[in-house]
């Protein structure tokens, strides 16, 4: 596979091409509203429901775009990646729909539910230690053994262009937005959103939302220098990775700010989404609402688009998270 530096520079036309390419395969997810959450935020909120996307997250968009741009020879050899879960599931499903084999390296701290889901979509799973170095080492072994094409979880223009299609749909489904907020881990969704938003509505403000315990993107934007990822301990497991060399320059140029939120704020936002709006999202998907509530004085009266990035969480994990939070409050 060509490295990111060998691929064409990314602009909104690539995003629109990706939208046309993947349209037969992805869900055009709905935009949902909730009067209760509007009242709590003091703003008009429009939720892009990517937790209802195939494979349970927005990742299916980018994975589909990457798969559909493979050459016939690359397709024969299959694809490979490393992922804590959502990209693993998305790539496995997108590859399977095209009868292409998928090899996925997953860290040992990945959600058991996400590992099981990736397997159910046909992925051949390799478990490694929960470090970036271990992921890359295990992936290199898989690539050497299979000749598969590496599809990076976020640091690839084809992935970024695919993720941008969520905003392209949101822009058509909702009124003109003052602000759009997406969660940020590796930056594929946020950078794609920023490109699409800037081209379609230049006045829109683009924000990222990130856990305090994984705040490398916030610090990168603040310092202007890409920071290393923090230890992978946040409940928002989809946001534990650091920004990529492709995503960071886009975010640096096009994203106004990144709001940090605590683990308690993430759990509270997830509880609100589950109980009041009936939106079953995972912790990563709740981070943007947590950011809206944390910054509501700045957003009062605004029209805000929120990308609910995914809904891949098991009931057992939810019970454990809720119980742990309850015990911490009692203590």
Q: What is the pLDDT along the chain (331 residues), one digit of tens a residue?
A: 334 444 457 999 999 999 999 999 999 999 999 999 999 999 999 999 999 999 999 999 999 999 999 999 999 999 999 987 899 999 999 999 999 999 999 989 888 888 999 999 999 999 999 887 898 999 999 999 999 999 999 999 999 999 999 999 999 999 999 999 999 999 999 999 999 999 988 899 999 999 999 999 999 999 999 999 999 899 998 999 999 999 999 999 999 999 999 999 999 999 999 999 999 999 999 999 999 999 999 999 999 999 999 999 876 666 666 555 555 545 5
Report the distance separating Cα 34 and Cα 62, nearest Å.
28
Q: Which of 23, 144, 2 is CA-nearest to residue 70?
A: 2
Edge-to-edge order in the sheet of strand 102-107: 124-128, 102-107, 79-82, 149-150
Give the number of other CB atoms < 10 A from CB of residue 131.
Answer: 14
The pair of structure tokens assigned to 292 is 């809206």
Report phi then psi at 93, rounded to 5.
-70, -45
Intrachain domains 4-57+160-330 and 60-150 with the same fold: yes
d(C-alpha 129, C-alpha 232), whole Å: 12
Backbone region of residue 161 per phi and psi (left: phi > 0; alpha: psi in -120 to 50; beta: other values): alpha
pLDDT of amino acid 7: 43
Residues 180 and 209: beta-carbon distance below 8 Å: no
Element (H or E) spanning 125, and its range? strand 124-128
Residues near 241 by beta carbon (within 8 Å), at least 6 away in sequence: 84, 132, 153, 154, 185, 186, 229
Of the candidates 61, 128, 47, the one whose C-alpha atom is nearest the C-alpha of residue 89 is: 61
Give the DSSP per-residue string, 236-282: -GGG-SPPPTTHHHHHHHH--EEEEE-HHHHHHHHHHHHHTS-----
Task: Identify each DSSP E strand in 159-256 by its residue range.
Answer: 179-183, 205-211
Cβ(246)–Cβ(196) under 8 Å? no
247-285 CB burial, b ≥16 within 10 A, e <16: bbebbbeebebbbbbebebbbbbbebbbeebebbbbbbb
- Whole-angstrom distance, CA of residue 218 vs CA of residue 15: 25
Report phi then psi at 47, rounded to 5: -95, 115
- Counting every residue written for the chain, the total comes to 331
User: Which CATH number fits the domain 60-150, given the four candidates 3.30.930.10, 3.30.720.210, 3.40.50.1100, 3.90.550.10?
Assistant: 3.40.50.1100
For residue 2, what pLDDT is reported?
38
CB contact at 8 A, 293 and 40 = yes
HSE of 31, CA atoms in CB hemisphere, 13 A: 18
- CATH tag, 4-57+160-330: 3.40.50.1100
Domain regions of the chain by residue span: 4-57+160-330, 60-150
d(Cα 270, Cα 266) in Å, to the nearest integer?
A: 6
Supply the residues annotated as catalytic.
Answer: 59, 84
Residue 323 pLDDT: 59
């Amino acid at each position: 596979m060509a490295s990111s530096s060998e691929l064409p520079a990314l602009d909104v036309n690539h995003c629109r091409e990706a939208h046309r390419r993947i349209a037969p395969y992805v869900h055009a997810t709905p935009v949902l509203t909730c009067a209760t959450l509007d009242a709590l935020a003091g703003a008009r909120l429009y939720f892009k429901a990517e937790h209802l996307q195939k494979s349970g997250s927005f990742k299916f968009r980018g994975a589909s775009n990457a798969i559909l741009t493979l050459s016939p020879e690359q397709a024969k050899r299959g694809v490979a990646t490393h992922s804590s879960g959502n990209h693993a599931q998305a790539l496995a499903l997108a590859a399977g729909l095209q009868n292409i084999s998928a090899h996925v390296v997953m860290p040992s701290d990945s959600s058991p539910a996400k590992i099981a889901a990736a397997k159910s979509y046909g992925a051949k799973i390799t478990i490694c230690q929960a470090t970036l170095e271990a992921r890359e080492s295990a992936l290199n072994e898989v690539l050497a053994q299979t000749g598969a094409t590496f599809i990076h979880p976020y640091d690839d223009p084809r992935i970024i262009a695919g993720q941008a299609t969520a905003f392209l749909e949101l822009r058509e489904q909702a009124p003109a937005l003052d602000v759009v907020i997406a969660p940020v881990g590796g930056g594929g969704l946020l950078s794609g959103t920023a490109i699409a938003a800037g081209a379609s509505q230049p006045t829109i403000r683009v924000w990222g939302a990130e856990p305090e315990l994984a705040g490398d993107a916030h610090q990168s934007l603040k310092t202007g220098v890409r920071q290393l990822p923090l230890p992978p301990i946040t409940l928002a497991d989809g946001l534990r990775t650091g920004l990529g060399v492709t995503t960071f320059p886009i975010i640096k140029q096009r994203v106004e700010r990144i709001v940090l939120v605590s683990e308690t704020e993430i759990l509270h936002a997830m509880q609100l989404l589950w109980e009041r709006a009936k939106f079953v999202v995972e912790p990563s998907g709740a981070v943007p609402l947590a950011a809206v509530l944390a910054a509501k004085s700045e957003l009062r009266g605004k029209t805000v688009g929120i990308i609910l990035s995914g809904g891949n969480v098991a009931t057992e994990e939810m019970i454990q998270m809720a119980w742990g939070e309850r015990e911490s409050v009692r203590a």
